[in-house]
Structure 1
Amino acid sequence: MNTTDTPLSDAAQRLRDIHSRMDKAARLVDRAPGQARLIAVSKTFGPEAIEPLLEAGQRLFGENRVQEAQGKWPALKENYPDVELHLVGQLQSNKAEDAVELFDAIHSVDRSSLVQALAKAMDKTGKRPSCFIQVNIGEEEQKGGVALEALPALLEEAQSLNLPVVGLMCVPPADKEPSPYFGLLAKLAKRHGLPRLSMGMSSDFETAVSLGATEIRVGTALFGTR
């Protein structure tokens, strides 16, 4: 950033650059630009870092923790009521009601106890954020997500409780080429009739867009290193 740049112009440029890369990735596979939505992952960043992106027109944001989001987004949304807020991190079952109250979408539904808690919270509050089932696509012990073989049963349970499941989400192994994992997630979503795919982050979102992502989750490329 040169000395004439302002935080707003810098944020706007970062947004333009990422959208340009998304559009190029889409065109390379004859996919219409604009079919993938950009979620700006603002975890650990305060209002002073978020507001330039809001001023530049960004309206989809992602947070990892319910408590952190509760501390900054209610005030921000007073000035930007059209913000769409997504929970992209792991969710404890005892935070389900708080999450349902605050978020428009929850990307990390991955177990029966959470499905039950979310269904109860939605019935209580009357709010129904969109839900993505997180799949442990690389079968990694340390990561959240439902096991591949357990996905059909979890989907059936969620749908039986009228959870608004709209798609699947994954985080591929960090040290491997992501395309086979994104391709597998797309195949699973198609098999189960789910239209949306939450996949792709700062390092691999172009690959994700080329393989059908409808939501990409970008933090570092927009906000810088944490």
Structure 2
Amino acid sequence: MTPDDRLSAIRDRIARAARLARRDPAEVTLIAVSKTHDAPAIRPFLAAGQHDFGENRVQEAQAKWPELRAEFPNARLHLIGQLQSNKAADAVAIADAIHSVDRPSLIAALARAMDATGRRPACFLQVNIGMEEQKGGCAIADVPALLTEARAAALPIAGLMAIPPAGLDAAPYFALLAKIGRDEGVTGLSMGMSDDLDTAVTLGATHIRVGSALFGARA
């Protein structure tokens, strides 16, 4: 399948799931997860009209995206991996959205970088929705306090992000994240990947992170 074919297939899945939930498919942003893939692999998707891309590591984004953005000025970069506080300034400089805000020290570092540069990328608070020790994200009980802290620091909070436990039905975790968002007055929900995006869209996802279904399995 060509990049156009793969994009069309994913967009069709999003549209079907949105119709099932009586939602407008335009409410859902498809993020093509381009981590570990080089610029030649990304260019065909940009040329096919895909604008939003996700990277895990700041250093990798810095190596690829300045050149790609010079060719495709409409590209938007989402940082979706765990972010160290000492990389906050670099993240603010390159990203249009940061999906892994999960602790007070990172909030403070991002706020300083935003104040210094004037750039204010959208921020998603990452929630450890399955309470897994090996995963990033704040505890569910800490969401209200962290949101209050982020808002007080003038971070532009766009929503919540979560990755459900692997191998389990994702629906209850997506539904829980959506409930937390409603309770806290947050509308954006970054949830759902290649295997479970249909469920995520029906349960309210506004941002879907799709890698393998577009680029193929990573080595």
Q: Which runs of 5+ in 2 are unaligned?
A: none
Partner of 1:188: 180
The alignment-based identity, stated in percent, is: 61
Partner of 1:82: 74
Q: Compute the RMSD of aligned alpha carbons.
A: 0.6
User: What is the CA-CA distance between 1:195 and the residue it aligns to?
Assistant: 1.3
Which of 86, 97, 103 does residue 94 from structure 1 map onto? 86
Confirm whether residue 148 of structure 1 aligns to residue 140 of structure 2.
Answer: yes
Confirm whether residue 108 of structure 1 aligns to residue 114 of structure 2.
Answer: no
- Distance in 2 (CA, whole Å) between partners of 1:82 and 1:109 is 25
- Distance in 1 (CA, whole Å) between partners of 2:157 and 2:20 is 30
User: What is the CA-CA distance between 1:33 and the residue it aligns to?
Assistant: 2.0
Partner of 1:225: 217
* Counterpart code for 1:163: L
Stretches of 4+ aligned residues off by more than 3 angstroms: none
Confirm whether residue 48 of structure 1 aligns to residue 40 of structure 2.
Answer: yes
Which of 193, 197, 204 does residue 205 from structure 1 map onto? 197
- Distance in 2 (CA, whole Å) between partners of 1:58 and 1:172 is 26
Partner of 1:176: 168
Partner of 1:7: none
* Counterpart code for 1:220: S
User: What is the CA-CA distance between 1:61 and the residue it aligns to?
Assistant: 0.3
1:126-179 deviation digits (Å, cap 9, x = unpaired)? 100000000000000000000011111111111111111110000000011000
1:2-61 deviation digits (Å, cap 9, x = unpaired)? xxxxxxxx0000000000011001111211222111000000000111001011110100
Name whichever of 32-41 and 139-148 sits farther off: 32-41
How many residues end up aligned between the 2 structures? Answer: 218
Confirm whether residue 21 of structure 1 aligns to residue 13 of structure 2.
Answer: yes
Which of 16, 24, 29 does residue 32 from structure 1 map onto? 24
Which of 111, 117, 127 does residue 119 from structure 1 map onto? 111
Secondary structure of 2:67's partner?
Answer: helix
State which structure, 1 or 2, has the greater radius of gyration over its C-alpha atoms.
1
Partner of 1:135: 127
Secondary structure of 1:34's partner?
Answer: helix
TM value normalised by structure 2: 0.98
* Counterpart code for 1:189: G
Partner of 1:72: 64
Q: Which runs of 5+ in 1 are unaligned?
A: 2-9
- Distance in 1 (CA, whole Å) between partners of 2:71 and 2:21 is 38
Secondary structure of 1:53's partner?
Answer: helix
Which of 150, 170, 174 does residue 158 from structure 1 map onto? 150
- Distance in 2 (CA, whole Å) between partners of 1:64 and 1:109 is 13
- Distance in 2 (CA, whole Å) between partners of 1:81 and 1:32 is 26
